[in-house]
Structure 1
Amino acid sequence: MPRRQLLEVGEVAALLGRDEPLLLAGDEALLRRLPPGRWIAGTIPYFMTEAGGVVDRERIFVEHLPPGVDCLGIRRYGEEEISRVYADLPEGALAAMIAPCWSRVHLAFALHAPRYPGFATAPLFGWIAGVHLSELGASAPRVFDGSAAEPLSDQAIVMQLSLAPGKVPDLGIVNVFERGDGPTLTFPETGFTAATVAVDGRPEPLVGYLERSGLDTRLPLVADYAGASINVSFQSVDRERGEVRFFAPVFAGVEYQHARPLPDSVRAFASALPTGLGRRVAFSCNCVLNYVNLELEGRRIGDVVGPMTFGEIAYQLLNQTLVYLCISEGD
């Protein structure tokens, strides 16, 4: 059986009956039908499969742990506790984390993760749970603590994982977006919303700038964070309130530029992926905004499969990226 695929609820329940630890993604109604076991999950109906991007509300995406990786335990973290997510990891361990979008724990992690004790000293990977885009504002994203088969809307769920001797983790990020040639944009405050922006140093209302410039909000803002290109994706533009909402926070004083357009998004991803990556991946996820804005329905991205999410986690929160974890033999 493939280690990463969409399965019927009964098939997933059978795997759990054999006490197999699993990372799961699917529609809330399906996840509620699963028995307790060693699993964690998040709600999302969008997936990249071997046949291409799909919306599937009848099956659950299953991630089996690869050989040499086992579940040490499942923990819940609220807004006040999430800062311990790295410090709580046993030596030599790694962790998978799923948080519900728009929850206070999601916001806390997004804003403060790089300042947590032990940040990036061990691989922390995962994603942000979401809903079908037609249900934005009507349905709440949920994560599931499989040990109790319990849905949660205000806590992150973390599966701590052990590595067998000789196994080496490699957590990678594929970002096909680059900073364009437009003006430099800076924001006066850190947060998920912004009303004003400094355009090459000149402050003006952000909604007005977007309308004046004709900026394509399907493409993210891109900044250099300590040598890495990090995206901030647009969520919505509220003209009445004069406010723009993002899927990840903008940080005060950081210089952003609008991303260059992609002539061929699938080719861009394919060329950015390491050769033969799909055969070595233990986990991966991609952003639902890439699914929608880059028109990935029915189109494959190399041979990498996984949920299409409301945010990706590779040490910290990311947007409009592809995140993957490989487990290999050490030297």
Structure 2
Amino acid sequence: MTVKHGTGTRDEVAGLIHAGRILVLAGAEAGLASLPRGRWIGGTAASFITAAGGQEADGRIFYSDLTGIARNVRLHHFNLSEMRRIGRLHPANGFTMVIIPGFSELLAGVSAKIMDYEGIYHAPLFGWVSAVDLAQLGHMQPKSFSGAPAGSAEHAAVMTVSLPDELFAQLQIANLFSPGIGPEIRFSKPGFLAEGDCLIGGKPDNLARYIEAEKIDRRLPLVTDHDGALINISIIASDAQTGRATFLAPVNPALTYRFAGDILDYPREFSRALDELHLGSAALSCICAQNYEHAGLRQSTGLPFQGPVTFGQIAYGVLNQTLACLTISNHEEEDAGPETG
């Protein structure tokens, strides 16, 4: 039993929905908003990784068909208060999939608290932060959809998936980054934007002007250690003249950050991190827009994953600048182990 991935026109995907398929979808808002009701969740995305490599949405919708592995699914469209009980909805054997709109108040609230939600680690929690073309930020809002054509910029699409007893789900994450040796950075308030002073090395400073003065590699995220988990915060814009820096995920004043250590050959380091996962073929995947751009994935073919290009990845916590994958394995295959001669 496998998860099938592909792209289709609006009418082709609508046909899959009418046929009762269980789908996770990504594409432009107009396409998702024209689909019929059914057993699907989706989020906006401007690009995908397909079997043929990177592809712009351009009127097509990316789909992952879970029908072959799912015993039962339930759909929800949660606000921030409702998201606090997501850990209590995990199936006994299976996983929970969530799509949160990028640059939303919901994402800010979830990012700060999700790793403390009751029961969050009782089953794999996988998902992504919906996106739009970066050039369209301010004109278009990332959205999520849950089984209906009514999208939302402030609700999370949630799908709980029960698996047959012989199958189990696992999360895998590829992260190139670890904290560098530079000074500690702390912020006075949460959010996706830093335009006032922060503390750099214990002294008031401006992040955008610090980046310019120190010639910080614009590909490097901020990295923090949150209860033993390394969390990246991608910087997508920095203007020393205005003193403004914009992040893909909100910074947290309770945490201390450092710029990641240098990456000399980004595509090679991404390939190395990918090889360490031993994915085989991932059931569900998402890749950060920053990795898509800097690792040269537009031209890459034959990758062991397919999925949307996103503004964040969800693997229990909300991540930036990673690859997040969910694999589905068979207990019997795991128990059998490798054959010997």
What TM-score, normalized by structure 1, do the two folds share? Answer: 0.91
Alpha-carbon displacement from aligned partner over 1:306-330 (angstroms, at most 9, x marks no partner): 1110111111110000000001112
Q: 1:161 to 1:300 in 2, by over 3 A?
A: same
Give the equivalent residue in structure 2 for 1:273. Answer: 274
Counterparts of 1:86-97 in structure 2, within 5 Å, are: 86-97=87-98
**Matching residue's letter, 2:155:** Q
Aligned equivalents of 1:66, 1:260: Cα separation in 2: 42
- Give unpaired runs (5+ residues) of structure 1: none
User: 1:324 aligns to what?
Assistant: 325
User: What is the distance in 1 between the residues matched to 2:267 and 2:37?
Assistant: 38
Q: Is the 8 A contact 1:278 1:302 kept in 2?
A: no
Deviates more, 1:40-49 or 1:175-184: 175-184
Mind listing any 5+ residue stretches in structure 2 that lack a counterpart?
336-341
Q: CA deviation at 1:10?
A: 2.5
Q: Conserved in 1, the CA contact under 8 Å of 2:209 and 2:239?
A: no
- After superposition, the CA RMSD in angstroms is 2.3
Following TM superposition, by how much is the alpha carbon of 1:239 offset from its aligned partner in structure 2, in angstroms? 5.2
**Partners of 2:173 and 2:323 within 8 A in 1:** yes
Note the C-alpha offset of 1:212.
1.7
2:100 is the alignment partner of 1:99: yes
Q: Residues 111 and 191 of structure 1 are in contact (CA less than 8 Å); yes or no, is this contact kept in structure 2?
A: no
CA positional deviation for 1:136: 0.8
SS at match of 2:161: strand
1:156 is aligned to 2:156:
yes
Distance (whole Å) between structure 2 residues aligned to residue 180 and residue 290 of structure 1: 19
The aligned residue for residue 181 of structure 2 is 181
Write the distance in 1 (CA, Å) between the matches of 2:20 and 2:278: 28
Matches within 5 A, 1:33-44: 33-44=34-45
- Please name the residue that 1:225 is paired with: 226
2:65 aligns with: 64
8 Å CA contact 2:3–2:68 kept in 1: the answer is no
Partner of 1:168: 168
Query: Residue by residue, what CA displacement relative to the aligned partner does 1:271-321 show, whole Å, maximum 9, x if unpaired?
Result: 222478454311000001222234432234832221110111111110000
Deviation readout 1:213-259 (Å, 9 max, x if unpaired): 12223320122233332211113335576443321232335332212
Residue in 2 that maps onto 1:137: 138
Counterparts of 2:39 and 2:150 in 1: how far apart (Å)?
12
Size of the aligned set, in residue pairs, is 330
Distance in 1 between the 2:302 and 2:121 partners? 27
SS at match of 1:150: coil
User: Are 1:5 and 1:49, in contact at CA under 8 Å, matched by a contact in 2?
Assistant: yes
Assess, with a 3 A threshold, how the Cα gap between structure 1 residues 33 and 309 changes in structure 2: closer, same or farther: same
Query: Given the superposition, is the C-alpha separation of residues 190 and 29 from structure 1 closer, same or farther in structure 2, using an over 3 Å criterion?
Result: closer
CA-CA distance at 1:185 after TM superposition: 2.3
Relative to structure 1, the CA distance from residue 80 to residue 240 in structure 2 (aligned partners, 3 Å threshold; closer, same or farther) is farther
Does the CA-based 8 Å contact 2:46-2:132 persist in structure 1? yes
Partner deviation per Cα, 1:20-40 (whole Å, 9 max, x = no partner): 100000111221232211001
Match of 2:109 in 1: 108
> Structure 2 CA distance, aligned partners of 1:283 and 1:141?
20
Instruction: Supply the distance in 2 between the matched residues of 1:41 and 1:292 (Cα, whole angstroms).
Output: 23
Report how far residue 139 of structure 1 moved.
Answer: 0.8
Amino acid of the structure 2 residue aligned with 1:110: S
TM-score normalised per structure 2: 0.88
Percent sequence identity over aligned pairs: 36
How far 1:142 sits from its partner (Å)? 1.4
Once the two structures are superposed, residues 95-143 of structure 1 have per-residue CA deviations (whole angstroms, 9 ceiling, x without a partner) of 1111111222211111111121112222111111111122110011111
Stretch of structure 1 that moved more, 178-187 or 149-158:
178-187
Secondary structure of 1:69's counterpart equals: coil
Question: Matched residues in 2 for 1:210 and 1:106: separation?
Answer: 26
Give 1:22-41 correspondences, 5 Å limit: 22-41=23-42
